[in-house]
Structure 1
């Protein structure tokens, strides 16, 4: 694919991953690594999970609509890999500043869960701060964008300054983190301001981004409920991007872990690509 041809009506984006887990003994694992069902019709080549050594897989859909698979990893190294081809319109994330905030009493019931505090988004601890920062921002799209602008300026991106247990509050206090930390802080602030927000993870290409490009990884962003539905915001990059391919959504990163091991496991290697 020629990344210069952004005007093409449809892009074909190759996506994939290759990771290895080491387990000292047989260990149950949940894997959430497939392209989300909302993009299923865009899959020109399915990203079927390949497992070495071969073990039985059981598929299910979790309570957030994410495609998951269960397996028992044998003792030793387990390799998980997949490659898929996705048709994408090649358009940047939409920017719709006229969208209004929906009053809480008019929100659909399925959005209410995403107003509540969660494991990594402690909106109950950040409410006073959020209102002091964003009460003057225009309601609706403008307020969510003001939150993204603040998080983008306030937090310094640093791969070495995050941890699996880092939360929105500690990200605000430390002022550094990775894309999931940016997303958690922005989600918590949105919820404080009565705007439903949910965490997203997936592939994010470097299409339309001038080099140099950083090493590819899975990315995190969020969706806010405004007007008639859910819309993408990305406080880490804070600019519309092309080729965003969703894997999973949830309240925060705890709901959409790429792998969840019920026992000791170590990530031996990890590689992600889009092309």
Structure 2
């Protein structure tokens, strides 16, 4: 059974920054968090698992703590440039500049289109229409692609939406991905789906074009975002906090949207 992600929006006042609204853009990380499923012979990531060390008992009478296991690309997570073959030799997650982890963000909303067609692909014409209404994509910022897919984020079957032909989830056209990577000034793409590419992206040329072009250009990805409906089209500052895994290809990540209030 799917459910909406828990909404976490809080008003805060910070000296020097003024009044802000903080929107939690990360999904909860649990043992039922959906994970991508690759066909054989490819290896798959292990899911998230939490193991108790002690809980105020004989194992540790004054402490509750756990250890966990999961892949770097499970739940809401960041893809570093070295995640893809086109970006091999690129930055690992621990070397991503902080200016890319705290940066302006815009939201393109294609929820209606994705509801009508789960294989909907964002095209360059969609980006051009957005820019005509809201101005150019932010230099050094993020493009967040809202499809409404986060409503399935706690249900593996609905979230992957797979049949005998593979997964059916929205994504981005190859030419649009190339333009965003090579000609726009953005430094990353964020999505609500399990990966930055469409479920049928293996049928595109090149295969998985968002990964191919974005990471080949040294750019980033964020996946399985929540609460994008709480953000305006423009005016958000995105803050992402991946684990600083030395040499890592990515990390589960807490992501926030910061809005002036």
Q: TM-score range by the shorter chain?
A: under 0.3
Relative to the length of structure 1, the TM-score reads 0.27
